[in-house]
Amino acid sequence: MSSRTASPSVFEQLLALCRERFPRFADQWTESRRLFGPEWEQDFSTSVGAAFGSSPSPAWDGALEGYAEFCTDALRAQVAFEKSGRYRATSYAAVMVECYQSAEYMLRRYLPGLYLSHFIWPHHYRLVRAFVKSLLPVVAGEVRLFCEVGVGCGLYSQKTLQALSHARGVGYDISDYALDFTADVMRSHGLSDRYAVHNQDILTSPVSNLADLMICQEVLEHLEDPAAFVRGLYAATRSGGWGYITAAINAAHTDHIYLYRSPDEVRAQIEAAGWRVQDVQVESSYPEKKPEFRPTIAGFLVRRG
């Protein structure tokens, strides 16, 4: 009698490639699997396998290279931040040209790196997991239309569509590369029929269809005036509608401009715009660092009055 051995998962195969090509980053992959277990590995394999293919290919090579460069950029920026106490970028116009309008930056590095980081970086995945398991069930019965402003790699829109089969979504961004990447993610997961993307600045061109749920995931730190942007999110949400707003705190990257020093600073801007905070989640990495240099994300479930 012969026994069959299960084929390696997408995660296991990508991990082997990571160990071979970028060994300095591989330990975090295995640590995240240890922290989150088989359910996490299945989530990784299903999502990443759809987005980049379920077997070794040039897309896998590109995703791994993008992730390595994304991590390297973050590490370098964080070291510089800890030396100077400030972010390098100060101008949104300059970041727009250097990053969001650059195919080299967005397609080779930022977008594949960001997508993978949502699974591999523990503080990122804890927010994703809570968003799907705890927050979406709270709002599910009230959401027919959701908007994500600043879609980035599209993961949060993907997860929302998968969790809320009755809902449709719209993704807004000012980078065609982000919108194209997000549209590809939706197609690869069979979600395109319920999702549309638009290159639109919601402050200068307000949306006409108000959202039941507004998602804005790690956008505020990319702006010179995030308080005005939070007010724009409020205006684009129906009365009584929900929002999920997150921000990076003491976390440097190539395109981070606004330096939040604490979750309270983010909350103050959110509440000043009129939102009522319903729940808060704060996650950090590098616990050995001083709080003022510890990369942190704060996520707020909010409601419009």
> What is the three-class DSSP state of 90?
coil
pLDDT of residue 2: 47
- How far apart CA 74 and CA 61 sit, in angstroms, is 20
| Res 239: pLDDT | 98
Amino acid at 201: D
Exposure of 122 by Cβ count < 10 A (0-12 exposed, 13-18 middle, 19+ buried)? middle
Write out residues in the chain with pLDDT < 50, as ranges. Answer: 1-2
DSSP string for 208-236: SS-EEEEEE-S-GGG-S-HHHHHHHHHHT
Q: What are the boundaries of each domain within the chain?
A: 10-115, 120-304
Which tokens sit at 69? 């460069």
How far apart (Å, rounded) are the C-alpha atoms in residues 18 and 21? 5
Distance of alpha carbon 262 from alpha carbon 238, whole angstroms: 29
pLDDT score, position 7: 87
Specify the fold of 120-304. Answer: Rossmann fold (3.40.50)
DSSP for 242-286 reads EEEEEEEES---TT--S---SHHHHHHHHHHTTEEEEEEEEEES-
HEC-encoded secondary structure of 108-170: HHHHHHHHHHHHHCHHHHHHHHHHHHHHHHHHHHHCCEEEEECCCCCHHHHHHHHHCCCCEEE
pLDDT single digits (tens) 100-126: 999 999 999 999 999 999 999 999 999
In this prediction, residue 305 carries a pLDDT of: 87
